[in-house]
A and B are shown apart, each in its own frame.
Chain A
Amino acid sequence: MHIRLLFKHRPMRPDVGLGHCIKLLVILWILAGTCVVSGAESSLEAIFTGRLPLPGWKPEGEPYRYVSENLYEHINGGADYFIAYGFVALTGINYAPVSGGMDSVTVDIYDMGDKLNAFGVFQPRRDSQASSLNIGTGSFGSDEYVAFHKDRYYVEIQGYITGRKEKCVVKDMASMVAAHLPGDDSLPRELSYFPEKSRIAGSERYIRGGILGHAFLDRGMACDYRIDGKKVTAFVAFLPSFREAVMAVDHHRSFLEKSEKKCLPLEGFGTHSFASEEPFHKTIIVKQAGAFVAGVYDLTSVEAGKTLLTGILRNITL
């Protein structure tokens, strides 16, 4: 009655109708998100109970779950690292041999919220010399330990194996988990900003906290290249807006000038770009493009990095 009266006095205008539609869409979107999250959790449970363990193994207790407040109870000081990369929750389980004994396998699935975060925690933990095990999107490990990432998940499987026969169990369980985790095997799309030519495989990393240790370049990707036999590093920082990207370049310039380094215009790259000397990283060239700041450092000369920077800028704007 009351509502009807309200409507009587305030007839619905077309823009109000549009507003209601938007609200409805937002609600539907939230509901869909909720379903996805709960769906993801139940699919993890289904992996633990339906797909795993392998024959000869049984669950040791119930699956456990940690969130950011108590993650340190599980992995102590390393927890802060995961939290900084957007950790949402960890779901895990222990398995023991049906025949008894001391052997055990632990499966930990970290939900990192998105693909980029999962890649971000995986990559620095990877041994640069380690070869991929072809599990998930990227993987490394040994007979007793396998780490891999797939979509928004980072997974660690740790074994305590004494019997020779069981040596493959960790890898087998990892393959099984990877095959049944929701999501796809593709790498984060942000990797496509970096040209493939001369890129050092496995050097790609997602940085939270500051590229080159600069808080104003808080978030972004970096990877190494070999140019004329020398290793250089290219980066793309992700800023919230065009304006903040311009401000980040200004901050960078003023940091270098305070460090008594000259900032010269980067010829051929227009405004919001410069070439200078980065402390501990030789020559650096930097250019803002949209909400990004791209650069190349550890250069022996400005010219050496220009082609690479041009390639990155082209990929960003595509």
Chain B
Amino acid sequence: MQFFLATDGELYLARLDRGKMTGKKLTRRRFIRNITAACTCSSLYVNALTPRHALGKPRKKYASKDRMEMEYRTMGRTGLKVSALSFGVMRLAEPAVLFEALDMGINYFDTAHSYQRGNNEKMLGDVLKQYGRKKVFIATKIPPYHKRLGMNRLNDQKSLEAKMEKSLRRLQTDYVDVLFLHNIKDPDWPAHDEMLSFCQKMKKTGKARFVGISFHSGGQTYVDTVDQALKTDVYDVFLATLNYKSPKAHIDALKRARKKNVGIVGMKTQAGGYEQGARESLSPHQAALRWVLDREFVDCAIPGMVNRHQLAENSGVIGMKMGWSHRKTLAVYYDGIKDRYCLRCGACSSSCKNAVDIHTIHRSLMYWEGYRDFELGRKTYRGLSNAENALACMRCSTPVCRCINGIKIWKRMRYAHTTFI
């Protein structure tokens, strides 16, 4: 341990060594040497406290696919060994991305009867015909209700079967591995006779190896849907919205399903996932996806991907464990956006006396900051009249608008106005 000691107008460098104090006269050279060493050490120490250091070294942006080894999990009672990172095909237009995903070891592909009005199934069918149908698992979805009048009118078994036949033709296969009833909005639907007999018939005839339900409703409907479907003991897989902002009740419901050995597929895993860029050392999409994959009850996640960039980014999380630094990434990320990411709870809508359309202005900012679509953000903002846009906020000196989630609304409104006007 070293320290400076001043006596009789001279400076001494004192050292405490095994209880004994020794001293050297502090010369100019010695002083500079010690100060340099001290500065170097302290700067290293200070650097260790910076967020970048605390969050780990900046990673290579995306993991190399050559080094990636796909992680496979058993999908509940189905026994299917599916890749933890699976593929939501919905928006994809380019088959080359599917081939690349197959080469990476992704083996579970999710589409639906309605996506691109069937052309999505057709594209997947074409690719898998070339690649080999038996090497992969296909999941598709059939809408249980008559479009638009959903809550009032469920499809009958005959019409569901007709849709299934159409899907199989487009997919160029005799069977799908998982057949979902698409977008369950009412917890009673999974237990409906027509649904149950359709699902059982599909399994019996071998057109679907396993059946399940997909749902992304909010609140208690989500929980009730899980519980009602579990009661039937017919459904093998649940495809459900799950992300790091999911309420505990939803997570608990999925855990209950898991206990009954139901396969769990996560969707909308990166909801609210703002692009990398705002924080250079972080990849929020990766952290959000990893968070989902780290839930023990999750078998796979199906992020929607439309290009190689997204595929590489998502595959970068494979093999990673959600360590402290990744949790920190997510926490810092959420912390970074929570003052601007609107949960659209609507609680703020009546707090402004000027009738500013806070909700729509937040949406226009989300298009820009979240989806990186400036034009859409500007267009949405400019769709508001002067009474509804944030013009009033520019003149407002005593903002009364309050957000229960801590968003500084008036700041965001002003920011939107200066950005888009």
Contacts and interface: CB of A to CB of B under 8 A. Distances in A.
Interface of A: 26, 30-31, 33-34, 37-38, 67-69, 72-78, 80-81, 83-84, 86, 88, 92, 94, 102, 104, 106, 108, 113, 124-127, 147, 158, 160, 205, 207-216, 218, 255, 278-281
B382 A33 contact: yes
A77 B149 contact: no
Contacts of B93: 124, 205, 207, 209
Contacts of B325: none
A134 to B, nearest CB: 20
B202 interface: no
B28 interface: no
Given A209-B91, A210-B308, A113 B376 contact: yes
B248 interface: no
Interface in B350-374: 360, 363, 371, 373
Contacts of A218: 307
Contacts of B99: 279-280
Contacts of A34: 382-386
A125 B91 CA distance: 11
A46 B384 CA distance: 21
B20 interface: no
B60 interface: no
Contacts of A210: 94, 97, 306-309
A215 B308 CA distance: 7
B212 to A, nearest CB: 14
B146 A160 contact: yes
B287 interface: no
Nearest to B373: A86
Given A210-B308, A215-B309, A38 B182 contact: no
A95 to B, nearest CB: 11
Interface stretch (B43-51, B115-123, B226-234, B395-403): B115-123
B363 A80 contact: no
Contact of B90 (A69, A77, A205): A77
B379 A213 contact: no
A287 B132 CA distance: 35
Interface centre among B93, B97, B214, B310 (most CB of A within 10 A): B93
Given A30-B382, A158-B147, A158-B148, A215 B95 contact: no
B124 to A, nearest CB: 13
A100 B94 CA distance: 46
Contacts of A208: 306
A106 B148 contact: yes
A92 B214 CA distance: 25
Contacts of B118: 127
B306 A212 contact: no
Contact of B307 (A147, A158, A215): A215
Contacts of B263: none
5 contacts: A68-B363, A81-B115, A86-B379, A209-B307, A213-B306
A144 B147 CA distance: 12
A26 B382 CA distance: 12
B149 A212 contact: no
Contacts of B308: 210, 213-215, 255
Given A30-B382, A34-B386, A69-B363, A125 B119 contact: yes
B316 interface: no
Given A69-B363, A214-B307, 20 more contacts: A34-B384, A34-B386, A75-B114, A77-B112, A77-B141, A77-B214, A78-B112, A81-B90, A83-B371, A92-B148, A104-B149, A106-B148, A124-B93, A124-B117, A125-B116, A209-B91, A209-B93, A213-B307, A215-B307, A215-B310
Contacts of B96: 212-213, 278-281
Nearest to A74: B148
Contacts of B91: 80-81, 84, 209
A5 B124 CA distance: 71
Contacts of B380: 88
B155 to A, nearest CB: 10
A34 B306 CA distance: 34
B100 interface: yes
A125 to B, nearest CB: 4
Interface in B272-304: 304
A86 B375 contact: yes
Interface in B214-243: 214, 216
Nearest to B304: A80
Nearest to B146: A160
Contacts of B379: 86, 88, 113
B192 interface: no
A224 to B, nearest CB: 13
Interface centre among B95, B147, B153 (most CB of A within 10 A): B147
A33 B384 CA distance: 9
Contacts of A37: 383
A210 B363 CA distance: 24
Interface centre among B119, B306, B363, B383 (most CB of A within 10 A): B383
A14 to B, nearest CB: 25
B344 interface: yes
Contacts of A72: 216
A279 to B, nearest CB: 6
B306 A209 contact: yes
B421 A30 contact: yes
B383 A77 contact: no
Given A94-B149, A104-B149, A124 B307 contact: no
A278 B384 CA distance: 45
A146 to B, nearest CB: 12
B229 to A, nearest CB: 17
A281 B182 CA distance: 34
Nearest to B388: A34
A147 B119 CA distance: 15
Contacts of A74: 148
A65 to B, nearest CB: 12
Nearest to B141: A77
B94 A211 contact: yes
Q: Which 7 A-B pairs have the closest CB atoms?
A: A210-B307, A209-B306, A215-B309, A76-B183, A125-B117, A213-B97, A213-B94
